[in-house]
Copies of this chain bind each other. A is one copy, B any other.
Amino acid sequence: MSKTAPRSDSKEYLAKKERLARQLTIYGRKPVLEALQMPSVQCSKLHLAESNKRDGIINEICQLAEQQGIEIAWHDRQGLSRISKNGKQDQGVAADLELATYRPIREFNLESVAPGTRLLALDGIHNPQNLGMIIRSAAASNIAGVILPRKGCAALSPLVIKASAGTLFKAPIFHCESLTEALPALKDNGMAIYGLSSHAKTSLFQPLSDKPAVFVLGNETEGVSRDVSKLCTDMLAIPMANGVESLNVAVTAALLAFAGQFQQG
């Protein structure tokens, strides 16, 4: 491997950037083991800390990697922390996954968006349980994907993978730096941007137009953030009985993800 950094406009650099944007690095013994056990999940590299004891689960991980011809890289604890970005919880194990369903939002094909296409966008979903549940519902529904910003949302940690019941590896996820960066391009290409808000006057249950749309789910306490609200074409509320003020955000996400199927009957 060359030790010289490639020039930022070189083919090599762009190819690497492209590859990294489609790569998801997960960590933790159980999540990595489970990913290696799923035939549909492509792992390009396994990272292990030299300090790992060769116990049951580490042996199992190594065996699976060898069977599948996956490159194994050994690191000191610090080196592994740099890769997992969570030295406290990586348990000495990380894996680079290449998932056909995990892509940067710029790869969302705006030119051929069919009527009725729906995306969910997550704004400040910090709770790993909720994030995992949202991913699970999105994977099971017919929606086109979940827009997941790196800023302000929980990282794709073992807790998220567990709450997703392993569906993180097949859910259509479009990652981005922030929603304020990602949403304008979608809006410019004719998509409606709906923010969910308990104060909104328009009901989610009113039949919406067939226009392709992004539904933005905000933080449970604070709702959709101010900057993202400004980008919304309209705000929608779920009408609630008994004076209930809000639903769990993962429940709201599921209602949005499956709304199309209910409305088609």
Contacts and interface: CB of A to CB of B under 8 A. Distances in A.
17 contacts: A133-B248, A136-B251, A137-B251, A140-B240, A140-B241, A140-B244, A140-B247, A167-B244, A171-B242, A205-B264, A206-B265, A238-B258, A239-B261, A250-B251, A251-B251, A255-B262, A263-B263
A244 B164 CA distance: 10
Of the candidates A255, A263, A265, the one having the most CB atoms from chain B within 10 angstroms of its own CB is A255
Nearest to A253: B251
A254 interface: yes
Given A241-B142, A243-B170, A265-B207, A137 B248 contact: yes
Contact of A167 (B170, B207, B242): B242
A247 B136 contact: yes
Interface of A: 129, 133, 136-137, 139-142, 165, 167, 170-171, 205-207, 238-244, 246-248, 250-251, 254-255, 258-259, 261-265
A101 to B, nearest CB: 8
B170 A242 contact: yes
A265 B265 contact: no
Contacts of A247: 136-137, 140, 254
Contact of A263 (B165, B246, B265): B265
A263 B262 CA distance: 6
Nearest to A171: B242
A261 to B, nearest CB: 5
Contacts of A239: 261
A139 B255 contact: no
A164 B129 CA distance: 15
Contacts of A170: 242-244
Nearest to A247: B140
A262 B142 CA distance: 16
A139 B205 contact: no
A76 to B, nearest CB: 38
A207 B262 CA distance: 9
A210 to B, nearest CB: 14
Contacts of A243: 170
Of the candidates A243, A248, A250, A263, the one having the most CB atoms from chain B within 10 angstroms of its own CB is A248
A204 to B, nearest CB: 9
Given A251-B250, A259-B262, A262-B262, A241 B139 contact: yes
A243 B171 CA distance: 10
Nearest to A244: B140
A136 to B, nearest CB: 6
